[in-house]
Amino acid sequence: MLADALTLLLDAQDAPDWARLGAHLPYEWIAQAVAETGRASLRHRRLPAEQVVWLVVALALYRHQSISEVIDALDLALPAVQAPFVSKSAVAQARQRLGEAPLKWLFQTSARAWSSQDKNAYLFKGLSLLAMDGTTLRTADSPANREHFGAQSYASGAVASYPQVRGVTLTAIPTHLVVDAAFGRYDSNEMLYAKTLVPGIPDHTLTVFDKGFLAAEILCGLTANGQNRHFLIPAKGNTQWEVVEGTPEDAIVQMRVSPQARNKSPTLPQFWRARAIAAIDPQGRKKVLLTSLTDRQRFKASEIVACYGRRWQIETSYRELKQSMMGRALTLRSKTVEGVQQEIWGALTAYNLIRVEIAKAALEANCAPTEISFVRAFHTIQYELRWAAVTRAQGKLPALLQRLRQRLVSILNEKRPGRRCDRVVKSTPKRYAVRVLKKVLI
């Protein structure tokens, strides 16, 4: 990741030496992204399509800076004597010419490659651990965004002030790398986006779902296709089944597929089976976990329960993306529909760039990637990029990367033993202090 960016920044005075781009995000990927989507620049420009791809990714890394500031600070535009600066209109036109497709292609290609790297170091009984959940993002309040994405409606009839994007992500639990994503209108159910992601789930995986995704169409579609693809999901309070064998604490159960589901997907069986494991969450509440891991000797009930406890790490990845990277500026920059989609794919790629660098540093330090502070790693990468752009340290790229890895290893998370923080929903902080008016009794 940084090999790419640093090489590009160090050589910004001259035409970029594309052949020297680093190993994390090869130039071949970027060139293929713009070529296969038909967005390659046909004439010489200060911001050719390949440079604009880097710009969109960099905008996510420097969320609180304007587009012009990012271009100037990182020298992303090709040099020109007659026009030392790039106008705002030229940048907007360059992003419009690029569109969404190259960023989507780049994210999907890089995510598949990065998630398959070093996966053997983070297996659970030979299976890669994944988690699927949904989230939302707020867009600028433009007529185009409101018409395309929609907004939240309240029981009173009021409509939210900003349009919103609803999305579902498939995330690798050990590294927090986003493996795949789907998003669109806010009023579309998360189940619709989840169905589009299920066919792309890799083989030899265990995917942990939130109970909102409990549906035969999703879970049976996962296990019936591919090789060795399994699920783990909590049962709903009204889920009904018949015990086939086992004990109340660990049993094989059979559930009926609803007629409505079979009408939508005629290939579904009339009944489907799963393993039901009784568990108690940290708050002392009882729940039942349903899984396709039916081999009791290989997959102990206690191990499966502990594995489900790691599912909440996907919430941490959302916090890292939406609060740490975006700095709680939850409204996206773009005012056009295609610009919003482009920005989201760029943000996901930028997040994965940070996460893959953390994963590499964790392997060198022989620790878990989650033991390295994301916030401090994110800030370190920002500082290194700026430092390289200012100093133009020719020939020192390997030393810069080695120093970055060492700094990432040195900022491990410090966890106090015995500390436990309950999951609670807190009120949004007020921007201004609340003035309390006191009544004066006369």
Residue 153 CB contacts under 8 Å (≥ 6 apart), including other chains:
159, 160
Would you state the torsion angle of the CA atoms of residues 149, 133, 210, 122, taken in this order, to the nearest 10 degrees?
Answer: 170
Structural domain that includes position 46: 2-104+344-399
| C-beta separation of 171 from 178 below 8 A | yes
CA distance 189 to 395: 52
- What pLDDT sits at residue 273? 93
Other CB atoms within 10 Å distance of the CB of residue 234: 20
- Bridge partners of residue 166, in order along the sequence: 136, 184
- Bridge partners of residue 378, in order along the sequence: none
- Bridge partners of residue 251, in order along the sequence: 246, 276
DSSP assignment, residue 325?
Answer: I
- Bridge partners of residue 228, in order along the sequence: none
DSSP 169-238: EEEETTT--EEEEEEEETTS-HHHHHHHHGGGPPSSEEEEE-GGG--HHHHHHHHHSSSSEEEEEEPPTT
- 181 is a domain residue: no
- 173 is a domain residue: no
- What pLDDT sits at residue 37? 78
Q: Show pLDDT as tens, one digit a residue, over the chain (442 residues).
A: 444 443 433 343 333 332 322 345 677 788 778 877 777 665 556 677 777 888 888 888 888 888 888 877 766 665 554 555 677 788 888 888 888 999 999 999 999 999 888 887 888 989 999 999 999 999 999 999 999 999 988 888 888 889 999 999 999 999 999 999 999 999 999 999 999 999 999 999 999 999 889 999 999 999 988 899 999 999 998 889 999 998 989 999 999 998 888 888 888 888 999 999 998 876 677 889 999 999 999 999 999 998 888 888 888 889 899 888 887 777 898 999 999 999 999 999 999 988 988 888 888 888 888 888 888 888 877 776 666 555 554 444 455 556 656 666 655 665 556 656 666 666 666 655 555 555 555 4
Strand boundaries in 23-138, DSSP class E = 123-124, 127-138
pLDDT in tens, 116-144: 888 878 889 899 999 999 999 999 999 99
pLDDT in tens, 206-255: 999 998 899 999 999 999 888 999 999 999 988 899 999 989 899 999 99
Helices (H), 62-100: 67-74, 88-98
CA 395 vs. chain centroid, Å, equals 34
- 83 is a domain residue: yes
Maximum Cα–Cα distance across the chain: 82
- Bridge partners of residue 64, in order along the sequence: none
Q: Indicate the pairing of strand 250-256 with strand 242-247.
A: antiparallel
Number of domains in the chain: 1
Comparing CA positions, the residue from 342, 251, 243 lying closest to residue 296 is 251
- 379 is a domain residue: yes
DSSP assignment, residue 321?
Answer: I
- 85 is a domain residue: yes
| C-beta separation of 200 from 223 below 8 A | no
245, exposed or middle or buried, with CB in 10 Å at 0-12, 13-18, 19+? exposed
- 155 is a domain residue: no
- 285 is a domain residue: no
Q: Residue 401 to residues 84, 255, 360, 404, 409: CA-CA distances in angstroms?
A: 30, 53, 11, 5, 12
Amino acid, res. 364: E
> Residue 83 has which token pair?
């026009």
CA distance 337 to 93: 15
- 16 is a domain residue: yes
> Residue 145 has which token pair?
């965004």
